[in-house]
Amino acid sequence: MTATAPAPRTNFIRQIIDEDLAAGRHQTIVTRFPPEPNGYLHIGHAKSIVLNFGIAEDYHGTCNLRFDDTNPHKENREFVDAIQADVRWLGYDWGAQVYFASDYFERLYRFAVELIEKGLAYVCDLSAEEIRVYRGTLTEPGRDSPWRGRSVAENLDLFQRMRAGEFADGARSLRARIDMAAPNINLRDPVLYRIRHGVIHHQTGTEWCLYPTYDYTHPLSDALEGITHSLCTLEFEDHRPLYDWCIANCSVPARPRQIEFSRLNLQYTVMSKRLLTQLVSEGLVAGWDDPRMPTLAGLRRRGYTPAAIRDFCHRIGVTKADNLVEMGLLESAIRDDLDANAPRAMAVLRPLRVVLTNLPAAAPTQLEVANHPKRPELGTRQIPFGVELWIDRGDFSDDPPPGYKRLVPGGEVRLRNAYVIRCDEVIRDAQGEPVALHCSLDPDTLGRNPVGRKVKGVIHWVSAAAAVAAEVRLYDRLCQVPQPGSGGCDFRADLNPDSLRVLTGCQVEPILAAADPGDRFQFEREGYFVVDSDRTADRLVFNRTVTLRDTWGRG
Ligand code: ATP
Ligand code: MG
């Protein structure tokens, strides 16, 4: 499957790792992927997964899957499970153990005690709002909290009582004692611990009412796991001094190095978990795995393969430059994979009946066709042929535009893999709409060009007697503009109203009746399709993964 995927390119992070190894700073490389279980993984996370797990793979190191679960209010077990399933589906393995930042709560608490004992942390009674006001701005230094001078003994006592549950939410916090005048606002006595009563944590239950902040938890968790290179997105660049401060001031067993790279932004969709959550909770999509979502679960249901997503991540590379990647790049990755690997089939999405008026008695009832034009090893199959066929309504025109190469009254066209037919008569309903075409075939054109004339058009078809009915869901881009929600407007106004069109009564080759959810096909001349998980014993449902060519924006 991955035969066509290029070898991962080198990037500035791999160069740093090479230098570290050459200088003997590490024997083995340990990375981690640290999702917060407050939503499903999306294509942006895939960039981070492919980077972190890819480095571990190539350097024969390890990559930990660690849940960054310090905010129980928004996290839950469903997300923990979905994230694991998605990482595994992408093709990565985190070894015997899944890590949780919450596994370290006790040790993190002891590091906090160590900081207090060193005079490097204090219990502060300011409210969150007051802390914000005291913090100052980019141009003005902050002011010291009135509680900054508390004695070590008092801080230890209060911190222990915070843990014991004596104080209400927001009444007190533990803050690092760094520098209220630091030019970097992240160093102005950041909060390390906050009080949260009454939430049930998916891992630790009600054991804690004191929760460490991300900025405090992350470096220490990295250090406890012996992470060598902690790769994160650029918005954490300003947090790096705090990351290093935590490592330098706590007695940790290792010194991980944080390196930032730019996050993936993708056109025509949204990636913020807040907005994705909103799409789901407001019913604007059918769920986290709606095939229009940029989530891995959505892309999987849409028909994307893990190989195509990994290939896409390799194609975009890893840099520090902010970027907005064209949706066409993701689409071409799946198109290339499916073009090489998906078996072909014929499906008529908007059926129009064709009756062959001169089918010879000796004509074959089955035609043998290749499953893939370039890969004979994918074999052949029999497709039924008969007196009545379905063709696509769009392949017949009463009033053809210039250059139209398909069927017109009195005109000829080739049926793919079969004969040339001529449209002799159009049967119409009361409104004048065609309901059937009476056609004659040229018996000398099976696998041969007609003599004395050129027939340019080729259309697909299925045998009406043998075809199977199916529902086909034509998915398109989630949003109709490249940067939804830009300029401060509500991204919901940019949702594409035509992102899903459901066609019922489609007619497909009988062999497709045996297809299972997740099976992918190229429907000739239509695009790439996957069997949806809504498929049941008597209901066949296909999702369009992507069109054959990039025709977006061309109407
Ligand atoms: P939020 O914006 O809600 O904090 P997040 O996108 O940072 O969410 P996390 O679960 O914290 O989500 O992310 C896990 C890891 O994936 C982090 O290391 C993060 O930097 C990385 N990541 C998240 N989004 C992207 C993205 N768009 N491109 C690359 N990496 C990403
Ligand atoms: Mg995050």
Any atom of ligand 1 within 6 Å of the Cβ of 273: yes
Q: Kindly indicate the confidence band of residue 548, based on its pLDDT and cuts at 50, 70 and 90.
A: very high
Q: Is the pLDDT of residue 7 over 70?
A: no
Ligand 1 atom nearest to CA at 273: 3
**Lookup result for tokens 């909060």:** 191
| Closest by CA position to 491, among listed 478, 476, 474 | 478
**Vertex 303: Cα angle to 297 and 304 (nearest 5):** 75
Give the Å distance between the CA of 68 and the centre of ligand 2. 8
Average confidence (pLDDT) over 210-214: 98
Residue having the nearest C-alpha atom to atom 25 of ligand 1: 44
Any atom of ligand 1 within 6 Å of the Cβ of 275: no
Whether the CB-CB separation of 490 and 324 falls below 8 Å is answered with no
pLDDT at position 415: 97
Superfamily of domain 273-341+470-546 in the CATH hierarchy: Ribosomal Protein L25; Chain P (2.40.240.10)
Any atom of ligand 1 within 6 Å of the Cβ of 466: no
pLDDT at position 2: 40
| Weakest-pLDDT range from 79-83, 207-211, 317-321, 551-555 | 551-555
Any atom of ligand 1 within 6 Å of the Cβ of 212: no
| Closest by CA position to 365, among listed 463, 510, 511, 508 | 463
pLDDT at position 6: 52
Give the Å distance between the CA of 45 and the centre of ligand 1. 6
Any atom of ligand 1 within 6 Å of the Cβ of 266: no
Q: Would you please indicate which residues are annotated as catalytic (active-site) residues? A: 36, 263, 273
Whether the CB-CB separation of 552 and 480 falls below 8 Å is answered with no
| Closest by CA position to 521, among listed 305, 294, 299 | 305
Average confidence (pLDDT) over 438-451: 95
Any atom of ligand 1 within 6 Å of the Cβ of 72: no
Give the Å distance between the CA of 347 and the centre of ligand 1. 40
Ligand nearest to the CA of 68: 1
Burial class (CB in 10 A: 0-12, 13-18, 19+), 128: exposed
Q: Is the pLDDT of residue 4 over 70?
A: no
Q: Is the pLDDT of residue 549 over 50?
A: yes
CATH topology for 12-266 is Rossmann fold (3.40.50)
Q: Is the pLDDT of residue 555 over 70?
A: no
DSSP state of 430: T
pLDDT at position 196: 97
The reported pTM is: 0.95
Residue having the nearest C-alpha atom to atom 14 of ligand 1: 35
Q: What is the average pLDDT value for the chain, to the nearest integer?
A: 96
- 11, 33, 36, 258: residue to mutate for ligand 1 pocket, most atoms within 8 A of CB: 36
Rounded CA separation 480/497 (Å)? 8
Q: Kindly indicate the confidence band of residue 246, based on its pLDDT and cuts at 50, 70 and 90.
A: very high
**Vertex 391: Cα angle to 389 and 393 (nearest 5):** 140
Average confidence (pLDDT) over 382-387: 98
Q: Kindly indicate the confidence band of residue 488, based on its pLDDT and cuts at 50, 70 and 90.
A: confident
- 233, 240, 266: residue to mutate for ligand 1 pocket, most atoms within 8 A of CB: 233
Average confidence (pLDDT) over 433-444: 97
Ligand 1 atom nearest to CA at 236: 20
Q: Provide the percentage of residues in the chain whose pLDDT is more than 90.
A: 96
Rounded CA separation 280/79 (Å)? 14
CATH topology for 350-466 is Ribosomal Protein L25; Chain P (2.40.240)
Give the Å distance between the CA of 257 and the centre of ligand 2. 18
Q: What are phi and psi of 201, to 5 degrees?
A: -80, 140
Give the Å distance between the CA of 50 and the centre of ligand 1. 13
Average confidence (pLDDT) over 265-274: 97
The full set of domain ranges for the chain reads 12-266, 273-341+470-546, 350-466
Q: Is the pLDDT of residue 1 over 90?
A: no
pLDDT at position 553: 57
Whether the CB-CB separation of 229 and 55 falls below 8 Å is answered with yes
Q: What are phi and psi of 278, to 5 degrees?
A: -65, -40
Give the Å distance between the CA of 70 and the centre of ligand 1. 15
Give the Å distance between the CA of 236 and the centre of ligand 2. 9
pLDDT digits 0-9 by tens, 109-124? 999 999 999 999 999 9
| Closest by CA position to 160, among listed 130, 116, 205, 104 | 116
Average confidence (pLDDT) over 315-341: 96
CATH topology agreement for domains 12-266 and 273-341+470-546 = no
pLDDT digits 0-9 by tens, 510-542? 999 999 999 999 999 999 999 999 999 999 999
Q: Kindly indicate the confidence band of residue 550, based on its pLDDT and cuts at 50, 70 and 90.
A: confident
Average confidence (pLDDT) over 492-510: 97
Average confidence (pLDDT) over 228-246: 98
pLDDT at position 552: 66
Residues found in the chain: 555
Average confidence (pLDDT) over 137-157: 97
Average confidence (pLDDT) over 297-314: 98
Residue having the nearest C-alpha atom to atom 3 of ligand 1: 273
**Lookup result for tokens 């490249």:** 482
pLDDT at position 82: 98
Rounded CA separation 42/274 (Å)? 12
Any atom of ligand 1 within 6 Å of the Cβ of 271: yes
Whether the CB-CB separation of 240 and 259 falls below 8 Å is answered with no
